[in-house]
């Protein structure tokens, strides 16, 4: 996986962000994928869209994770873990979006775009894994230092 980081994130240095992406990717078994990932920090994302972050498949193996940088280090790394789960879902073709029909496909099942956010199984997986991924990363950081 090739990583590019754009934008400023005052609460987390770039080296830590890179280590977090590598750790999450290895744990989620996508580190060896040929994906190009751009991790972008966009000011006022939450204010403008209501999202703390999101992950987009740009096509041709290019993915973008965008996160609002206004949060604490802990919250940024948890949001990154959440979005890395979505990245895993897309790379492994568990999750896709059909623009024509306005439907998500998750593990072979179709979901209309107006499915309640909290009922979406891809969100349930991401929320269910984000804190554990973060805690394992932070434990790993203590061992390395």
Domain boundaries, the chain: 2-137
- pLDDT (tens place) for every residue of the chain, 145 residues total: 999 999 999 999 999 999 999 999 999 999 999 999 999 999 999 999 999 999 999 999 999 999 999 999 999 999 999 999 999 999 999 999 988 889 999 999 999 999 999 999 999 999 999 999 999 999 999 987 6
Any idea which fold 2-137 has?
Collagenase (Catalytic Domain) (3.40.390)
pTM: 0.94
C-alpha 46/C-alpha 138 separation (Å) is 25
- How many CA atoms within 13 Å lie on the side-chain side of 91? 23
Q: What are phi and psi of 70, to 5 degrees?
A: -75, -10
């Amino acid at each position: 996986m090739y990583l590019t980081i754009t934008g400023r994130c005052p609460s987390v240095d770039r080296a830590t962000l890179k280590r977090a992406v590598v750790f999450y990717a290895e744990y989620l078994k996508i580190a060896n994928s040929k994906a190009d990932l751009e991790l972008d920090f966009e000011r006022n994302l939450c204010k403008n869209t209501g999202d703390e972050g999101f992950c987009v498949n740009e096509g041709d193996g290019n993915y973008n994770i965008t996160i609002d940088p206004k949060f604490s280090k802990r919250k940024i790394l948890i949001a990154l873990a959440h979005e890395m789960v979505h990245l895993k879902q897309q790379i492994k073709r568990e999750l896709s979006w059909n623009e024509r029909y306005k439907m998500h496909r998750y593990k072979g099942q179709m979901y209309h775009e107006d499915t309640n956010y909290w009922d979406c199984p891809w969100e349930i997986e991401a929320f269910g894994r984000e804190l554990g991924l973060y805690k394992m990363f932070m434990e790993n950081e203590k061992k390395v230092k």
